[in-house]
Amino acid sequence: MAALRTLPADIVLEMYDRPIAATLGKGESAPQAVERIRQRLLELKADLHTIASAPIPSSIAVARMKQQIAALADRGRPSVLNCAELGSEVEFAKTSVQHSGMPGWHETHEVLPLIAWLFQADLEQALEEEIREIADDASALDDDERLKRERAVLASILETERIEERLIEASEAEVARRADADFRAVLGLAALPAPAR
């Protein structure tokens, strides 16, 4: 299988030696059981998508927003050093831009960083209110919880694919193996790094 070529050369392959609960329901044939298991795989993959697309907690969003505004404010802080020491002009933050239809680059003052420096507290408060108004903390996951749930679902997917493989074998070639079947389930290998999907 192509996925095997992606494994490190020094990895140790071990066989999966735990029982696999590949049982048929009452009056169920092996092909029917495979279809049932594949429906379960679709459900698990939908769970994985739900986890991946869950929003972050509003507290984390607010913290990241404040970091962004603080960085903007820092960039927009005018320099008054030469004004205080030499009587020259206050220096405001500038950036280079290229205008459509005009050759070369042109310097212009940065407005947004200056606004962030002038009104940092007000801007942060307004944005925090906006974030908390639309936040869905009931469905939110922080990075640790998201990773924990993803690992649990991935483990369930692999175990379900092992059951699928056992049922395919029991069907005596009545059911074709999926092209994207996990090679660990097909070859009966213990848990290894998950193959690329």
Task: Say what the pLDDT of residue 113 is.
Answer: 95
Q: Which domain holds residue 47?
A: 28-54+141-187
In a domain, 40, yes or no: yes
Write out pLDDT tens, residues 67-111.
Answer: 999 999 999 999 999 999 999 999 999 888 777 777 777 788 899
In a domain, 181, yes or no: yes
pTM of the full predicted structure?
Answer: 0.73
Q: Which residue has the higher pLDDT, 99 or 176?
A: 176
Q: C-alpha distances in angstroms, 18 versus 185, 189, 190, 192?
A: 12, 11, 9, 15
Other Cβ atoms closer than 10 A to 73: 20
Question: What domain count does the chain have?
Answer: 2
Task: Say what the pLDDT of residue 95 is.
Answer: 85
Examine the domain organization and report whether 129 and 148 are in the same domain: no
* 3-state secondary structure (DSSP) of residue 34: helix
111-138 burial by CB neighbour count: b if 16+ within 10 A, else e?
Answer: eebbbbbeebeebbeebbeeeeeebeee
- Rounded to 10 deg, the angle between the 30-53 and 143-170 helix axes is 170
Examine the domain organization and report whether 68 and 107 are in the same domain: yes
- Rounded to 10 deg, the angle between the 111-118 and 58-76 helix axes is 110
Give strand ranges (E) for the chain. 94-97, 106-109
* Residue 43 structure tokens: 């459900």
Q: Are 96 and 105 contacting, i.e. CB atoms less than 8 angstroms apart?
A: yes
Q: Which residue has the higher pLDDT, 171 or 166?
A: 166
Average of per-residue pLDDT across 134-150: 96
Examine the domain organization and report whether 41 and 100 are in the same domain: no
In a domain, 12, yes or no: no
* Residue 47 structure tokens: 């769970």
Q: C-alpha distances in angstroms, 188 versus 12, 19, 161, 184?
A: 14, 11, 10, 6
In a domain, 9, yes or no: no
**Cβ-defined contacts of 148-155 (< 8 Å, 24+):** 149/51, 150/48, 150/51, 150/52, 153/44, 153/47, 153/48, 153/51, 154/48, 154/194, 155/191
Write out pLDDT tens, residues 25-49.
Answer: 889 998 999 999 999 999 999 999 9
